Structure formats: structure tokens, C-alpha cells
Amino acid sequence: MSTPEEDIRPVVTVTLNPAIDQTITVEALRPGHVHRASAVRRNAGGKGVNVASCLADWGTPVVATGLLGSGNATAFEALFAAKGIADRFVRLPGETRVNVKIADLAAADTTDLNLPGLTADADALDRVRRTLRELVLPGTPVLLAGSLPDGLPADSYATLTADLRALGARVVLDSSGPPLAAALAAPDLPFCIKPNRHELEAWAGIPLPDTDDLLAAARGLHRCGVAVVVVSLGADGALFVADGPALHARLPAVNALSTVGAGDAMVAGLIAAFGADLPLDGVARLSVAFATAKLGCFGPNLPGADAVRALAGQVELSTL
């Protein structure tokens, strides 16, 4: 007979296009001017890596896989070792891309410069697919996250979702543009998606200026077979659509040390809530609390669990 510990399925995160995030903080960004940075930080990142890091801080067992350049993998290996994340990344020749993020303190905003990175091919994707077949059991939560590297077709996430659904996994997809559109047009749909307003508008092909428009698009995706649709709205929280009434969840504004990775922290909260079999209001509370808690930390990190739970208790919920 299995023990409760043996019944716990580690979360598997898949990041096909990770990045080293270099965050440069300036007092006020003025294009065309010389700036003196007040701080510079480098973090191993990419959506799935950020989610794995936050889940590890929460105490969830995590396995991270995807594609990683062997030339500068040290930063990732150090993060995985420090947080107890199992490293099953496929190594490719070359270097993982570097993303430059300029944090403007005066505007409380961040400007992203995403540099080119690895080029992958069908063999690289097949190596990830084989790795997933070794890792995934029925009921395993699997996150597919981020952009695709050059060389992989737009339907790569659709292909992985079909594989994972056949293995009995619960798939969460956090992507945008053609990869998201291809995944949502495929027969095998993910369990959950988390677009932001702009990503949902890009998928819909029309502006979605108010809450009713966003809800209509999200409910349409739910009717097509996506069990949970979450639309993140930045400082305004998020919309949650599943069976039953939709919810709007938000927390009062907080002083943010860094907004980088807040959406990834929300995805980590979603996965943690799904793992605890929480109802939709619990999913909303925990995921918004994760995102807000991350605002007080640099890098893909969370404070202690007690601080996150306290925030979850303060989340304002309204039924739509």
C-alpha cells in the first residue's frame, strides 16, 4: 500500500525557451540618455523555471525539463540545486538566451529586451517528449510555459498537450501568440490556460476593452473544453472562469520591489491550488496571493508560506 508521500505527484514544468534574466534598475528611464544603474541582478529564468522556483519555495516537489544551452547552464544548475528542483533539462550546444529587463523606479514599470537564443529542431523536441514519457504518470500536473525557440513549429505545445493528455496528465498552458492559438485549435485541449488581457485579445483577434468582453472570450474557451480559464489583469487581479459563476479576485496595491515574474508566480499558485483540490474561490485566493507575494521579492522567489497564506485571506472576491 502506498504512503501519502508516495501518492504525491511532483509537478513537471516544461520550458522550451528559458532565459537568464538580467534586471537593471534605474531611477527613471529616459530613452536616448546615459543612465547609472542602481542595481543589477541575474536570475535563471523563463516562465517554467520561474514557476518551478516559486513552487519549490512553497514546498511542492518539482521536476524541471525543457531545452537548455550547455554553454551557460551553470546559473540554472545552481538554482535547481539551491531549491531542490530535479533537473531533467535536455542540453543543446550553444548558450541559453539572455533577457535584459530595465526596471524604472519612477514609473514603477519594466522594459524588456529579449535577445535571440538557441535554435532547436524536431530531434530536440523528440528528446523532451521522451523525457516526459519517463516522468509523467496519470494525474501528474504538467506546465507548458513560455515562447518557443527558433526552429520549432507553432504547434509544438499542441503536440506536447496531446502526448500528455494520453498519459493522463493535467496540463496547464501559459503561452501566447501562434503557439497558444495552435494549442487552442487542437483536439486535445489543456486543462487550464492563463492569458493576460493582451494575449487574450491577440487570440480573439478583437479588442476586449471591458470585463464583459473578457468574460465572453474566456467563457467561450471554457465551453470549448478548457476546464479553467484565468485572465490576469495586473494590478486589477484576475478573472477566473470554470463551471459555475465566474470570479474576479484582487488584492489592494502593494509596494513592488519587482514586477518581473508576477504572472509566473500566479501560475505557480494555480498549480499549487489544483494540487490541493481547492474549489474555484480557493484557486483564486491562492494564485492572486502568490502573485502579490512575489512583488515583494527580487527574482523568481516567494516569501514564507505563512506570509502567502495571510495574503490569500485578504483577497477580495466578487462573483460576476
- Interval 201-229: pLDDT, tens: 999 999 999 999 999 999 999 999 999 99
- Averaged pLDDT score across all residues of the chain: 93
- Interval 267-289: pLDDT, tens: 999 999 999 999 999 999 999 99
**CATH architecture type of domain 11-17+45-96+118-319:** 3-Layer(aba) Sandwich (3.40)
From edge to edge, which strands make up the β-sheet containing 109-114?
Answer: 39-45, 19-26, 97-104, 109-114
Q: Which pLDDT score, from 0 to 100, does residue 257 have?
A: 65
Q: What is the pTM of this model?
A: 0.91
For residue 82, give the H/E element and its range. Answer: helix 74-83
Query: How much is the average pLDDT of 238-260?
Result: 85
Count of Cβ atoms closer than 10 Å to residue 232 Cβ: 22
Cα four-point dihedral sign 87, 63, 291, 198: positive
* Active site positions, annotated: 264
C-alpha to C-alpha distance for 93 and 199, rounded to whole angstroms: 32
Q: In Å, how far are 25, 287, 310 from 292, measured between CA atoms? A: 20, 9, 11
- Interval 123-154: pLDDT, tens: 999 999 999 999 999 999 999 999 999 999 99
C-alpha to C-alpha distance for 114 and 117, rounded to whole angstroms: 9
The SS3 call for residue 1 is coil
Helical H segments across 31-190, by residue range = 47-58, 74-83, 122-135, 156-166, 177-185
The SS3 call for residue 110 is strand
Of the pLDDT bands very low, low, confident and very high (cuts 50, 70, 90), residue 1 is very low
